[in-house]
Amino acid sequence: MKSSAMFQHRWMPLALAAPQLIIVFLFFFWPAWKAIWWSFHLVRPFGNDSVFVSVKNYLRILGDDSFYSSLQATLIFTAGSLVLAIFIAIVLAACAELNLRGRKIFRHLFIWPYAVAGAALGVILKFVMNPVLGPMAILNGIWPGFWTPHINGSEAMLMLIFAFAWTQVPFNFVIFVAALQTVPDDYLAAAAIDGAGPMRRFFDIQLPLIAPFVFFAAVINVIEAFTHSFGLIDTLTQGGPGGATNILVYKIFSDGFVGLDLSGSSTLSVIMMLCLVVLTTLQFLFFSDRMGYER
């Protein structure tokens, strides 16, 4: 009896994987290579010609104050959405693991928002957060000027952080629920016999044991904040007011497709990739050992 299946032809595994490999090449490797190539060239807005300019594009971007404003907004957005998404998800997962009536139903309900696209959520929140037409208008009626994200950059960033955290909570919730189910019941039962309540059992037993899963979710959330927040920004704030929410991924779009600065937007893309690599590496260096994550 054979222990594993064997293909009759050597090219068969490659042929089966070819569609996926072609998609990865066309939509990841080729654009990434093109961005690196254009970052060292001065490219005409409508193509047809390019001139090699060495690192002048990088010097121009790094000497632009708007880049540092965008980088600062990106870091604030990433940190805020990461903390909020992790905190809400871990609280919901801990509550879902308590022996409460209807917990299976809540598990399904908390996962459903993950199926909503970022742009669709942005359109919904644009009405909910509208200071004139939405529910927030009631608070503005009581306290005039209480909620004005269209002219207040801090409130616009807060709205964006809340919206993006909403998209990440379901994914984190699934991870944390699965992680909590790996905690041995004997540990929890022994702690309960010793008089430890749910809060004490969570902080002393469950949270340390699921720390590697929390670290994994944090890494994924950081990557998502850098790369998959465009739809929300475009529908909610479009980078405003005054560039307060013009984070790197949206600045790449606005510089390249609105300002027609293909060289500058390509350079920003490369810098954003480097920032992502640096942040992920720092996460692994500073937190992986402390949280017991095996590299």
* Residue segments in the chain with a per-residue pLDDT below the cut of 70: 1-5, 47-48, 118, 287-295
- CA distance linking residue 39 with residue 32, whole number of Å: 11
- CA distance linking residue 165 with residue 168, whole number of Å: 5
Closest CA to 181 of 153, 157, 210, 211: 210
- CA distance linking residue 10 with residue 248, whole number of Å: 44
- CA distance linking residue 119 with residue 167, whole number of Å: 11
Nearest 10 degrees: Cα torsion 250, 253, 256, 257: -140
The per-residue pLDDT for 16 is 86
Domains and CATH numbers, the chain: 23-289 (1.10.3720.10)
The per-residue pLDDT for 182 is 87
- CA distance linking residue 68 with residue 70, whole number of Å: 5
Q: Residue 102 — left, alpha, or beta (φ > 0 → left; ψ -120 to 50 → alpha)?
A: left
The per-residue pLDDT for 262 is 86
- Between the alpha carbon of residue 155 and those of residues 19, 64, 84, 149, 158, the distances in Å are 45, 25, 16, 5, 5
Does the N-terminal peptide bond of residue 241 adopt cis geometry, omega within 30 degrees of 0? yes
Q: Quote the pTM value.
A: 0.83
The per-residue pLDDT for 135 is 79
Angle between helices 153-180 and 65-96 (to 10 degrees): 40
